[in-house]
Amino acid sequence: MLRSLWLLFAQGVTLALAALFVVATLRPDLLPERWHAATHTQDVVVLNKTPVALENFTPSHLSLAPAVKNAIPAVVNLSIRHEAEGAEGGDSLFSDRYFSLFSDRYFSPYQNHKSLRKMTSLGSGVIVSSQGHILTNYHVVRKTDDIRVSLADGRIFSAKIRGVDPETDLAVLQVDAQPPLPVITFADMNSVQVGDIVLAIGNPFGFGNSVSMGIVSALDRNMSGAGQHENFIQTDASINPGNSGGALIDTSGNLIGINSTSYSPSGNSLGIGFAIPVSLAQNVMTQIIETGEVSRGWLGIEPQTLEPETAKQLSLPDAQNGGVLIIGLQKGGPADRAGMQFHDIIAEINGKPVRNAYQLLSRIAELAPGDTAQLRIWRASQWRDIKIEVDRHPLRSS
Q: Is 150 a catalytic residue?
A: no
Q: Which residue among 244, 260, 262, 269 is the active-site one?
A: 244
Q: Which residue among 169, 250, 344, 391 is the active-site one?
A: 169
Q: Which residue among 82, 133, 139, 229 is the active-site one?
A: 139
Rounded Cα distance, 142 and 151, in Å: 21
Q: Is 36 a catalytic residue?
A: no
Rounded Cα distance, 50 and 62, in Å: 20
| Phi-psi sector, 56: left (phi>0), alpha (psi -120 to 50), beta | left
Q: How far apart are the first and last CA of the chain?
A: 114
Q: Is 244 a catalytic residue?
A: yes
Q: Are strands 156-165 and 120-127 parallel, antiparallel or unpaired?
A: unpaired
Could you give the residue ranges of the DSSP H alpha helices within the chain? 2-26, 33-39, 65-71, 97-106, 113-119, 138-141, 278-291, 308-313, 334-338, 357-366
Rounded alpha-carbon distances, angstroms, from residue 276 to 230, 247, 282, 284, 340? 8, 10, 10, 11, 32
Residue 41, Cβ density class (10 Å: 0-12 exposed, 13-18 middle, ≥19 buried): exposed
Active-site residue numbers? 139, 169, 244
